[in-house]
Structure 1
């Protein structure tokens, strides 16, 4: 199975996800958000950072539906086809997270949302699901 490999800079992201919180690293000096996490602010050069909670709302910025599964580790994860989305966060449009849109809430399986329901610009909300022993952010479509 695929599992994230946290490094020192990104470890807090996964710790917060395990608690059901979506947080993004921000510079404590200039307040600019940054993702992926890194030790130094690309805007002002400061090494001071904070992890700020965000709502978990966003929109699909891009997506792909690979057929068949591109990686062998995904072969055991559920029905196909599955999707891979790039979600632009509502509060921080410059921050985009990769994940999957699932159907059926947090318990939905990879591939549980029919691909024809995906649209660029569709609004999504984060949910958290366990995958290979790590809690990862996934997305569900918001109801109109």
Structure 2
């Protein structure tokens, strides 16, 4: 590589949707949080599965939800969580409890560290990854 060759930052790993998870990723591209619901157990389900966790019924339906919830817990990574994420520090890794019940892991954005409180209300932020068809789900404090 010569000094004149521009260096691209390392590409970050992206999710690889599979048939079972595709509706979730399609929803994010549409600016919608979409998770599964099991009528037999009257339970919302996340991460995507093939059968309802309590009943093992094959009745899971994809439904749109608000995506809003509360901050269940978080940690602040001051060192890269992987080499591909160097330069993103500090990274605020959060577990969000959705209003529907399931918890998911994401990152908090648009917040000062001193303002973060467990139990605070959060809302989804949809981050399009340039030059891909991928949209990532992040969270920020709700107004």
Partner of 2:44, secondary structure, is coil
Would you say the 8 A contact 1:81–1:115 is kept in 2? no
User: How far does residue 99 in structure 1 lie from its aligned partner after superposition?
Assistant: 0.9
SS of corresponding position for 1:41: coil
Question: Corresponding residue for 1:101?
Answer: 108
2:141 alignment partner in structure 1: 141
Q: Is residue 120 of structure 1 aligned with residue 127 of structure 2? A: no
Aligned to 1:33: 44
Distance 1:38 1:123 in 2: 27
User: Which residue number corresponds to residue 90 of structure 2?
Assistant: 81
Tell me the alpha carbon deviations over residues 50-73 of structure 1, each in whole angstroms, 9 at most, x when there is no partner. Answer: 111111210100101011112111
Q: What's the CA shift for 1:29?
A: 3.5
For 1:24, which of 19, 32, 35 is the aligned residue?
35
- Compare the two structures and name the one with the higher strand fraction: 2
Q: Which runs of 5 or more residues in structure 1 are unaligned?
A: 104-112
Alignment length (residue pairs): 130
Are the aligned partners of 1:82 and 1:115 in contact in 2 as well (CA < 8 Å)?
no
Query: Highest CA radius of gyration, 1 or 2?
Result: 2
The aligned counterpart of 2:72 is 61
Which blocks of at least 5 consecutive residues in structure 2 are unaligned? Answer: 1-11
Task: Show the counterpart of 2:8.
Answer: none
| Partners of 1:142 and 1:63 in 2: CA distance | 16
Partner Cα distance (2:117, 2:96) in 1? 12
Give distance in 1, aligned partners of 2:39 and 2:26. Answer: 20
Contact 1:99 1:138 in 2 (8 A): yes
Write the deviation string for residues 7-42 of structure 1: whole angstroms up to 9, x where unpaired. Answer: 221111001111100011112433321111110111
